[in-house]
Amino acid sequence: MSTKETIHFLTIKTLDDILRCINLASLLELSGWPKPGNVHRTQNFESTRFEHFLAGIAAIQPNFRMLCERIAQKSFIRDEDYELIKLGQFFKNAAEKMMMWQKGGNVIVGHILILAPLASAAMLCLQSSNTTIQNFKKLLQKIIDNSTVEDAINLYEALRLCNPGGLGTVDRYDVHNNNSLKSLQEDGITLKAIFELSKGRDLISSEYATNFNITLNEGLPYFLDTFHQFQDINIATVNTFLYLLALHPDSLILKKSGSEPAMHVSNCASKILEKGGISSEEGLTLTINLDKELQKKKGKLNPGTTADIIAGVLFSALIFGLRY
Protein backbone atom coordinates (compact mmCIF):
# COMPACT_ATOMS: atom_id res chain seq x y z
CA MET A 1 0.00 0.00 0.00
CA SER A 2 1.52 3.32 -1.04
CA THR A 3 0.14 6.82 -0.78
CA LYS A 4 -0.06 7.08 -4.56
CA GLU A 5 -2.25 3.99 -4.67
CA THR A 6 -4.56 4.75 -1.78
CA ILE A 7 -5.19 8.43 -1.15
CA HIS A 8 -7.97 8.91 -3.67
CA PHE A 9 -11.29 7.62 -2.31
CA LEU A 10 -12.75 6.51 0.99
CA THR A 11 -13.19 2.74 0.94
CA ILE A 12 -15.79 2.62 3.71
CA LYS A 13 -19.42 2.09 2.73
CA THR A 14 -21.59 2.52 5.83
CA LEU A 15 -22.03 4.37 9.10
CA ASP A 16 -20.98 1.19 10.89
CA ASP A 17 -17.73 1.18 8.91
CA ILE A 18 -16.97 4.68 10.23
CA LEU A 19 -17.60 3.49 13.78
CA ARG A 20 -15.30 0.52 13.28
CA CYS A 21 -12.56 2.87 12.08
CA ILE A 22 -13.06 5.21 15.05
CA ASN A 23 -12.82 2.39 17.56
CA LEU A 24 -9.85 0.72 15.90
CA ALA A 25 -7.95 3.99 15.50
CA SER A 26 -8.13 4.67 19.24
CA LEU A 27 -7.18 1.09 20.13
CA LEU A 28 -4.21 1.02 17.76
CA GLU A 29 -2.94 4.36 19.03
CA LEU A 30 -3.21 3.19 22.62
CA SER A 31 -1.47 -0.13 22.02
CA GLY A 32 1.41 1.24 19.94
CA TRP A 33 4.64 0.02 21.58
CA PRO A 34 6.78 1.61 22.80
CA LYS A 35 5.48 5.15 22.16
CA PRO A 36 7.90 7.02 24.46
CA GLY A 37 6.36 8.71 27.46
CA ASN A 38 2.81 7.44 26.89
CA VAL A 39 0.67 4.80 28.52
CA HIS A 40 0.90 1.80 26.20
CA ARG A 41 0.53 -1.98 26.28
CA THR A 42 3.47 -2.44 28.69
CA GLN A 43 3.34 0.86 30.57
CA ASN A 44 0.96 2.44 33.07
CA PHE A 45 1.11 5.74 34.94
CA GLU A 46 0.71 5.84 38.72
CA SER A 47 -3.02 6.61 38.65
CA THR A 48 -3.86 5.93 35.03
CA ARG A 49 -3.63 2.45 33.57
CA PHE A 50 -3.84 0.94 30.11
CA GLU A 51 -7.22 -0.45 31.14
CA HIS A 52 -8.54 3.04 31.95
CA PHE A 53 -7.91 3.99 28.33
CA LEU A 54 -9.73 0.87 27.16
CA ALA A 55 -12.71 1.82 29.30
CA GLY A 56 -12.70 5.39 28.01
CA ILE A 57 -12.56 4.23 24.40
CA ALA A 58 -15.45 1.83 24.92
CA ALA A 59 -17.50 4.44 26.77
CA ILE A 60 -17.58 6.99 23.94
CA GLN A 61 -18.47 4.69 21.05
CA PRO A 62 -22.25 5.23 21.48
CA ASN A 63 -21.60 8.99 21.39
CA PHE A 64 -19.88 8.63 18.03
CA ARG A 65 -22.84 6.62 16.76
CA MET A 66 -25.23 9.38 17.83
CA LEU A 67 -23.03 11.99 16.12
CA CYS A 68 -22.98 10.05 12.84
CA GLU A 69 -26.70 9.28 13.01
CA ARG A 70 -27.51 12.95 13.57
CA ILE A 71 -25.55 13.83 10.44
CA ALA A 72 -27.25 11.05 8.45
CA GLN A 73 -30.66 12.49 9.31
CA LYS A 74 -29.89 16.03 8.09
CA SER A 75 -29.57 17.72 4.72
CA PHE A 76 -26.50 19.87 4.21
CA ILE A 77 -27.31 22.27 1.40
CA ARG A 78 -26.30 25.66 2.81
CA ASP A 79 -23.12 26.42 4.73
CA GLU A 80 -25.12 27.27 7.84
CA ASP A 81 -26.60 23.76 7.82
CA TYR A 82 -23.25 22.50 9.13
CA GLU A 83 -24.07 24.11 12.47
CA LEU A 84 -26.47 21.17 12.98
CA ILE A 85 -23.53 18.82 13.51
CA LYS A 86 -23.12 20.33 16.99
CA LEU A 87 -19.52 19.33 17.64
CA GLY A 88 -19.54 21.03 21.02
CA GLN A 89 -22.50 19.00 22.22
CA PHE A 90 -20.66 15.86 21.17
CA PHE A 91 -17.51 16.95 23.05
CA LYS A 92 -19.46 17.53 26.24
CA ASN A 93 -21.50 14.32 26.11
CA ALA A 94 -18.51 12.16 25.17
CA ALA A 95 -16.36 13.70 27.92
CA GLU A 96 -19.09 12.95 30.47
CA LYS A 97 -19.19 9.28 29.46
CA MET A 98 -15.40 9.00 29.35
CA MET A 99 -15.15 10.22 32.94
CA MET A 100 -18.13 8.19 34.12
CA TRP A 101 -16.86 4.80 32.96
CA GLN A 102 -13.35 4.78 34.44
CA LYS A 103 -11.40 6.24 37.37
CA GLY A 104 -8.12 7.12 35.67
CA GLY A 105 -9.07 10.72 34.92
CA ASN A 106 -8.87 12.33 31.50
CA VAL A 107 -7.67 9.57 29.22
CA ILE A 108 -8.86 10.38 25.69
CA VAL A 109 -10.34 13.86 25.44
CA GLY A 110 -7.75 14.48 22.73
CA HIS A 111 -9.14 11.55 20.73
CA ILE A 112 -12.61 13.04 21.14
CA LEU A 113 -11.48 16.40 19.76
CA ILE A 114 -9.42 14.98 16.89
CA LEU A 115 -11.74 12.20 15.72
CA ALA A 116 -15.09 14.03 15.84
CA PRO A 117 -14.61 16.37 12.84
CA LEU A 118 -12.82 13.66 10.85
CA ALA A 119 -15.64 11.19 11.46
CA SER A 120 -18.23 13.87 10.65
CA ALA A 121 -16.52 14.63 7.33
CA ALA A 122 -16.43 10.92 6.49
CA MET A 123 -20.14 10.62 7.24
CA LEU A 124 -20.90 13.61 5.03
CA CYS A 125 -18.87 12.05 2.21
CA LEU A 126 -20.98 8.90 2.38
CA GLN A 127 -24.16 10.93 2.54
CA SER A 128 -23.23 12.92 -0.58
CA SER A 129 -21.85 9.86 -2.44
CA ASN A 130 -18.69 11.87 -3.10
CA THR A 131 -15.88 9.97 -1.38
CA THR A 132 -12.82 11.68 -2.85
CA ILE A 133 -10.14 12.95 -0.52
CA GLN A 134 -10.69 16.40 -2.02
CA ASN A 135 -14.34 16.35 -0.93
CA PHE A 136 -13.36 14.95 2.47
CA LYS A 137 -11.03 17.90 3.07
CA LYS A 138 -13.60 20.38 1.72
CA LEU A 139 -16.30 19.08 4.06
CA LEU A 140 -13.91 19.03 6.99
CA GLN A 141 -13.24 22.72 6.43
CA LYS A 142 -16.97 23.49 6.22
CA ILE A 143 -17.56 21.71 9.53
CA ILE A 144 -14.90 23.80 11.24
CA ASP A 145 -15.76 27.10 9.53
CA ASN A 146 -19.43 26.83 10.46
CA SER A 147 -18.94 25.96 14.11
CA THR A 148 -20.83 28.14 16.57
CA VAL A 149 -20.52 30.01 19.84
CA GLU A 150 -22.57 27.23 21.43
CA ASP A 151 -19.95 24.74 20.23
CA ALA A 152 -17.22 26.79 21.93
CA ILE A 153 -19.17 26.99 25.20
CA ASN A 154 -19.80 23.24 25.16
CA LEU A 155 -16.10 22.64 24.47
CA TYR A 156 -15.22 24.62 27.58
CA GLU A 157 -17.73 22.67 29.63
CA ALA A 158 -16.25 19.42 28.30
CA LEU A 159 -12.73 20.51 29.22
CA ARG A 160 -13.82 21.52 32.71
CA LEU A 161 -15.23 18.03 33.23
CA CYS A 162 -11.86 16.40 32.70
CA ASN A 163 -9.31 19.20 33.35
CA PRO A 164 -6.84 18.22 30.62
CA GLY A 165 -3.61 19.82 29.56
CA GLY A 166 -3.83 21.58 26.24
CA LEU A 167 -5.38 24.92 25.35
CA GLY A 168 -3.71 26.66 28.27
CA THR A 169 -4.52 30.25 29.14
CA VAL A 170 -6.12 32.25 26.33
CA ASP A 171 -6.22 35.56 28.18
CA ARG A 172 -9.88 36.65 28.35
CA TYR A 173 -11.08 33.14 27.49
CA ASP A 174 -9.15 31.03 29.99
CA VAL A 175 -10.89 27.65 30.33
CA HIS A 176 -10.49 27.81 34.11
CA ASN A 177 -11.92 31.31 34.54
CA ASN A 178 -15.56 31.25 35.66
CA ASN A 179 -16.32 34.32 33.55
CA SER A 180 -15.08 32.76 30.31
CA LEU A 181 -18.40 31.26 29.22
CA LYS A 182 -20.07 34.67 29.52
CA SER A 183 -17.18 36.26 27.60
CA LEU A 184 -17.46 33.71 24.79
CA GLN A 185 -21.16 34.47 24.46
CA GLU A 186 -20.79 38.26 24.64
CA ASP A 187 -17.92 38.36 22.12
CA GLY A 188 -19.44 35.84 19.72
CA ILE A 189 -16.41 33.53 19.89
CA THR A 190 -17.04 30.39 17.85
CA LEU A 191 -15.31 27.04 18.20
CA LYS A 192 -13.08 27.85 15.23
CA ALA A 193 -12.23 31.25 16.71
CA ILE A 194 -11.12 29.83 20.06
CA PHE A 195 -8.90 27.32 18.32
CA GLU A 196 -7.44 30.11 16.18
CA LEU A 197 -6.60 32.02 19.35
CA SER A 198 -4.84 29.02 20.92
CA LYS A 199 -3.16 27.53 17.83
CA GLY A 200 0.26 28.86 18.75
CA ARG A 201 0.35 26.95 22.04
CA ASP A 202 -1.60 23.77 21.30
CA LEU A 203 -1.27 21.26 18.45
CA ILE A 204 -4.92 20.20 18.49
CA SER A 205 -5.96 23.84 18.20
CA SER A 206 -3.50 24.18 15.33
CA GLU A 207 -5.16 21.24 13.57
CA TYR A 208 -8.54 22.97 13.68
CA ALA A 209 -6.96 26.21 12.47
CA THR A 210 -5.18 24.53 9.51
CA ASN A 211 -7.82 21.99 8.41
CA PHE A 212 -5.87 19.16 10.05
CA ASN A 213 -2.65 19.81 8.18
CA ILE A 214 -0.45 17.69 10.46
CA THR A 215 -2.84 14.75 10.40
CA LEU A 216 -3.65 14.70 6.69
CA ASN A 217 -0.63 16.23 4.98
CA GLU A 218 2.25 15.16 7.22
CA GLY A 219 1.24 12.18 9.34
CA LEU A 220 -0.97 10.25 6.93
CA PRO A 221 1.43 10.06 3.94
CA TYR A 222 4.34 9.13 6.21
CA PHE A 223 2.28 6.49 7.98
CA LEU A 224 1.10 4.86 4.75
CA ASP A 225 4.58 4.84 3.22
CA THR A 226 6.01 3.32 6.41
CA PHE A 227 3.31 0.66 6.47
CA HIS A 228 3.93 -0.08 2.79
CA GLN A 229 7.63 -0.51 3.50
CA PHE A 230 7.42 -2.74 6.57
CA GLN A 231 3.90 -4.24 6.46
CA ASP A 232 3.80 -3.85 10.24
CA ILE A 233 1.06 -1.78 11.88
CA ASN A 234 3.02 -1.22 15.09
CA ILE A 235 6.15 -0.02 13.31
CA ALA A 236 4.06 2.35 11.20
CA THR A 237 2.25 3.68 14.28
CA VAL A 238 5.30 4.26 16.45
CA ASN A 239 7.56 5.58 13.69
CA THR A 240 4.86 8.06 12.64
CA PHE A 241 4.54 9.12 16.27
CA LEU A 242 8.31 9.72 16.36
CA TYR A 243 8.19 11.54 13.02
CA LEU A 244 5.51 14.00 14.13
CA LEU A 245 7.16 14.42 17.53
CA ALA A 246 10.43 15.29 15.78
CA LEU A 247 8.65 17.89 13.62
CA HIS A 248 6.48 19.45 16.33
CA PRO A 249 7.47 19.78 20.00
CA ASP A 250 4.58 18.32 21.94
CA SER A 251 2.27 20.98 23.38
CA LEU A 252 1.38 18.93 26.47
CA ILE A 253 5.07 18.76 27.38
CA LEU A 254 5.40 22.47 26.61
CA LYS A 255 2.57 23.25 29.00
CA LYS A 256 3.76 20.96 31.80
CA SER A 257 7.52 21.37 31.57
CA GLY A 258 8.46 24.18 29.18
CA SER A 259 10.19 24.56 25.83
CA GLU A 260 13.63 23.14 26.67
CA PRO A 261 12.37 19.68 27.74
CA ALA A 262 9.94 19.64 24.80
CA MET A 263 12.76 20.36 22.35
CA HIS A 264 14.93 17.70 24.00
CA VAL A 265 12.23 15.08 23.46
CA SER A 266 11.78 16.15 19.83
CA ASN A 267 15.52 15.97 19.22
CA CYS A 268 15.63 12.49 20.71
CA ALA A 269 12.82 11.40 18.40
CA SER A 270 14.71 12.79 15.41
CA LYS A 271 17.87 10.88 16.34
CA ILE A 272 15.90 7.65 16.69
CA LEU A 273 14.44 8.12 13.21
CA GLU A 274 17.96 8.57 11.84
CA LYS A 275 18.56 4.99 13.01
CA GLY A 276 15.40 3.72 11.30
CA GLY A 277 13.00 4.10 14.22
CA ILE A 278 11.77 0.90 15.81
CA SER A 279 12.27 -1.01 12.55
CA SER A 280 15.97 -1.36 13.44
CA GLU A 281 17.43 -3.03 16.51
CA GLU A 282 19.38 0.11 17.42
CA GLY A 283 16.37 2.34 16.88
CA LEU A 284 14.14 0.11 19.00
CA THR A 285 16.70 0.09 21.81
CA LEU A 286 16.93 3.89 21.70
CA THR A 287 13.13 4.15 21.73
CA ILE A 288 12.82 1.86 24.74
CA ASN A 289 15.51 3.87 26.54
CA LEU A 290 13.74 7.14 25.74
CA ASP A 291 10.49 5.69 27.04
CA LYS A 292 12.21 4.77 30.31
CA GLU A 293 13.70 8.26 30.58
CA LEU A 294 10.37 10.00 30.01
CA GLN A 295 8.42 7.68 32.31
CA LYS A 296 10.67 8.69 35.22
CA LYS A 297 9.11 12.17 35.07
CA LYS A 298 5.68 10.72 35.95
CA GLY A 299 3.72 12.28 33.09
CA LYS A 300 5.48 15.65 32.92
CA LEU A 301 7.23 14.56 29.71
CA ASN A 302 4.24 12.76 28.20
CA PRO A 303 3.85 13.58 24.47
CA GLY A 304 0.11 13.09 24.82
CA THR A 305 -0.97 15.59 22.18
CA THR A 306 1.15 13.84 19.55
CA ALA A 307 -0.52 10.58 20.52
CA ASP A 308 -3.95 12.16 19.99
CA ILE A 309 -2.96 13.24 16.49
CA ILE A 310 -1.78 9.70 15.75
CA ALA A 311 -5.34 8.53 16.46
CA GLY A 312 -6.47 10.90 13.70
CA VAL A 313 -3.79 9.60 11.33
CA LEU A 314 -4.88 6.02 11.99
CA PHE A 315 -8.55 6.84 11.47
CA SER A 316 -7.77 8.56 8.19
CA ALA A 317 -5.65 5.64 7.01
CA LEU A 318 -8.45 3.21 7.87
CA ILE A 319 -11.23 5.08 6.06
CA PHE A 320 -8.98 5.34 2.99
CA GLY A 321 -8.37 1.62 2.90
CA LEU A 322 -5.69 0.53 5.36
CA ARG A 323 -6.04 -3.15 6.28
CA TYR A 324 -3.35 -5.14 8.01
Rg of the Cα trace of the chain? 19
| DSSP string for 244-260 | HHHHS--HHHHHHH-HH
Residue 250 is predicted with a pLDDT of: 98
CA distance 235 to 230: 7
pLDDT digits (tens, 9 = 90+) for 111-146: 999 999 999 999 999 999 999 999 999 999 999 999
Q: CATH for 3-319?
A: 1.10.4200.10
Residue 170 is predicted with a pLDDT of: 61
Place 184 in a pLDDT band, splitting at 50, 70 and 90: very high
Place 7 in a pLDDT band, splitting at 50, 70 and 90: confident
pLDDT digits (tens, 9 = 90+) for 278-314: 999 999 999 999 999 999 999 999 999 999 999 999 9
Burial (CB < 10 A; 0-12, 13-18, 19+), residue 109, is buried
Looking at every residue in the chain, the average pLDDT score rounds to 95
Which residues on adjacent β-strands are paired with residue 9? Answer: 132
pLDDT digits (tens, 9 = 90+) for 206-249: 999 999 999 999 999 999 999 999 999 999 999 999 999 999 99
pTM: 0.96
For the cut 90, the answer to whether the pLDDT of residue 36 exceeds it is yes
Domain boundaries, the chain: 3-319
Tell which wins on pLDDT, 26 or 177. 26
Residues 50-63, buried b or exposed e (16+ Cβ, 10 A)? bebbbbbbbbbeeb
